[in-house]
Structure 1
Amino acid sequence: MKPIELKGIIPPIITPMYEDESINVAELRRQVDRMIENGVHALFPFGTNGEGYILSGKEKQLVLETVIEQCNGRVPVYAGTGCISTRETIEQSRMAQAAGADVLSIITPSFAAASQDELYTHYKAVAEAVDMPIVLYNIPARTGNALAPATAGRLAEIENIVGVKDSSGNFTNILGYIDAGKKKTNGKFYNLSGNDQLIIWTLLAGGTGGIAGCANVYPHTMASIYDLFMEGRIEEAREANESIQSFRACFKYGNPNTIVKTATRMLGHDVGPCRAPFNQVPEEGIKALKKVLDENEAKGMH
């Protein structure tokens, strides 16, 4: 397993689609270039904002191989390979390894309730099936299964489980992961914020970055949070992080993934709609988005 630092701002890159919901590969390549040219530090295909939950296995392979080819080694590529079953998660993880991904991001199983022992056994089995760095992914509001910090600490003792992304929105949980990861004896354990508004606070607490959906809309602004922080310009980094609050306030108008993709489309990028049924934003939401996008453009956000 080649060593890699998990750091910086990592967009869960949008999966562009045509109106018939097929994958728009040409636009995906353009979005890869757009993200990298605006300074992001890695890319994460088929995360939540990439609609990984609604893509087929073949579509995921197409997206991943396209992103890896277009990146051409410029930034690391994280592949979201978590599925409900351990068996399919292993299949997807082996596919990602064969495709040349750098890191696996594995969401907890969803729908059926899982005990902490079941989660531990699931991740251990996947880790043993591949020779790649693995990031645990906790988003209980979407999956129904929360990964306890103590369980993350147990998993950290497995050599190729190297970090965790927390999208719970609970900063105490992030602190619990950071504390648990300090006990890893065979390398560093990285902590990434999955909540865009908590990135600066995660960095201040000892984390190393964030997987940030808003970076699909504002890649340069989001990337600057990490860059400014690393330069010691903490107040400017905090201000950059706070600048996305008005956009995130628009999430009340629909599924956040749909809001992000709609906003990206409104900025002139041909990313298409989200896959049905998760593809509607009411007219009041469109008006609110336009107002916020115009205001933020005037501030120089991009």
Structure 2
Amino acid sequence: MPLEGIVPPLVTPLIDDQTLDLEALKELVDRMLEAGVHGLFVLGTTGECTSLSYSLRRQLIEEVCGMVQGRVPVLVGITDTAPDESVALTDFAKRVGAAAVVAAPPYYFGLSQPELVTYFERLADRLSLPLFLYNMPSHTKTMISVETVVALSRHPNIVGFKDSSANGGYLHALIYAFRDRPEFSIFVGPEEMMASSVLMGAHGGVSGGANIFPKLYVDLYHAAKANDKESIVTLQAKVMEISAKIYALGTYGSSYLKGLKGAMSLLGLCQNVLAAPHTAFGEADMEKLKRNLESIEGV
């Protein structure tokens, strides 16, 4: 520790709701590793974590850890409304070679900040792997305050934090709060904010676009670490173009995921299959996506 760099939230390639596309998964993992990613995050939001059966989750963890063979850390999402399920999945992930786990707050009843401290401390006490906290208020209804993150960071088994709030002021306050504690990893989810966050002191990004263009995000991270402003401006423009042309089609709550998997299917990286209850883009949206994807140059 600390973990640093680009840790893509791995898409879960599917043939159907109960079947992993193992060939696509292997090609995807190999492609990311060849591009120089610094870790892989399975069962995140991009991996459709809450829509997959527990048997499929376990299979995915085992397959990815077997493919990676320790070359980079594998982080596993264990977010659940039942702590026992999070503990059980962590124990399984440790047995097959994962390095750490990631948990957002339980997402049914909202928790107060004192309840969050109690929940995560008790969970971390039971986990057999180090824990990264995951702030995803749009999906969990609960924002983890800066003060709560600082309090939880004192737990010896809580080693980092991923912020997907897309709140720049909040993230900068968090980075400032940990300015004298560089061993506690701070990652940003929204890839549009990754370079600026690294410039401010964040450790890296959990960038979904790295499923499609892994080298772009690795290069942007290294440019930010080197304070290479000319390269940052050029690469950041590509990231913003991807965001506008792939993630923003339609008004679906899952537009990001539909666009990402749709684009990957057009590039032959995986099938255009989303786990129920979500569905892939229809023909009209796929035509728009195809035109948009073809217009993105130089990545």
TM range (shorter): over 0.9
Give the counterpart letter for 1:136 in structure 2. L
Task: Tell me how far 1:282 sits from its aligned partner.
Answer: 4.1
2:218 partner SS: helix
Task: Tell me how far 1:30 sits from its aligned partner.
Answer: 1.5
CA contact (8 A) 2:52 2:275 kept: no
CA gap of 1:90–1:176, structure 2 versus 1, over 3 A, is farther
Task: Tell me how far 1:191 sits from its aligned partner.
Answer: 0.9
- Which residue in the other structure is 2:212 paired with? 217
- Which residue in the other structure is 1:130 paired with? 127
1:61 aligned to which of 36, 58, 61: 58
- Which residue in the other structure is 2:247 paired with? 251
* Deviation per residue, 1:87-116 (Å, 9 max, x gap): 222222222222221121111210211111
2:276 partner SS: coil
Partners in 2 of 1:20 and 1:63 — Cα distance? 13
CA contact (8 A) 1:19 1:273 kept: yes
Structure 2 unaligned spans of 5+: none
* Deviation per residue, 1:114-150 (Å, 9 max, x gap): 1111111111112111243211101110111111111
- Which residue in the other structure is 1:42 paired with? 39
Give the counterpart letter for 1:201 in structure 2. S
1:1-302 equivalent positions in 2, closer than 5 A: 4-19=1-16, 21-182=18-179, 188-249=183-244, 250-252=246-248, 253=250, 254=252, 255=254, 256-296=256-296, 299-301=297-299
CA contact (8 A) 1:167 1:195 kept: yes
Give identity over the alignment, percent.
30
CA contact (8 A) 2:2 2:184 kept: no
CA contact (8 A) 2:103 2:132 kept: yes
1:244 partner SS: helix
CA contact (8 A) 2:110 2:142 kept: yes
CA gap of 1:194–1:58, structure 2 versus 1, over 3 A, is same
CA contact (8 A) 2:91 2:128 kept: no
Question: How many equivalent pairs are there?
Answer: 294
Partners in 2 of 1:205 and 1:143 — Cα distance? 27
Structure 1 unaligned spans of 5+: none
Partners in 1 of 2:18 and 2:274 — Cα distance? 8
CA gap of 1:121–1:270, structure 2 versus 1, over 3 A, is same
Give the counterpart letter for 1:228 in structure 2. A
1:191 partner SS: strand
Task: Tell me how far 1:21 sits from its aligned partner.
Answer: 4.6
Give 4+ residue runs of structure 1 displaced > 6 Å after superposition: none
Task: Tell me how far 1:20 sits from its aligned partner.
Answer: 5.4
Partners in 2 of 1:181 and 1:83 — Cα distance? 27
Partners in 2 of 1:271 and 1:246 — Cα distance? 23
CA contact (8 A) 2:135 2:165 kept: yes
Partners in 2 of 1:60 and 1:284 — Cα distance? 32
Task: Tell me how far 1:229 sits from its aligned partner.
Answer: 2.4
* Deviation per residue, 1:215-237 (Å, 9 max, x gap): 11111111111122234423313
1:264 partner SS: helix
TM-score w.r.t. length of structure 2: 0.92
1:243 partner SS: helix
* Deviation per residue, 1:11-43 (Å, 9 max, x gap): 111111114552122221121111111221111
2:41 partner SS: coil
CA contact (8 A) 1:152 1:180 kept: no
1:108 partner SS: coil
TM-score w.r.t. length of structure 1: 0.91
Task: Tell me how far 1:6 sits from its aligned partner.
Answer: 1.4
Partners in 2 of 1:118 and 1:162 — Cα distance? 20
Identify the range of structure 1 (201-210 vs 100-109) with the bigger mean alpha-carbon deviation.
100-109
Task: Tell me how far 1:63 sits from its aligned partner.
Answer: 0.4
Give the counterpart letter for 1:208 in structure 2. H
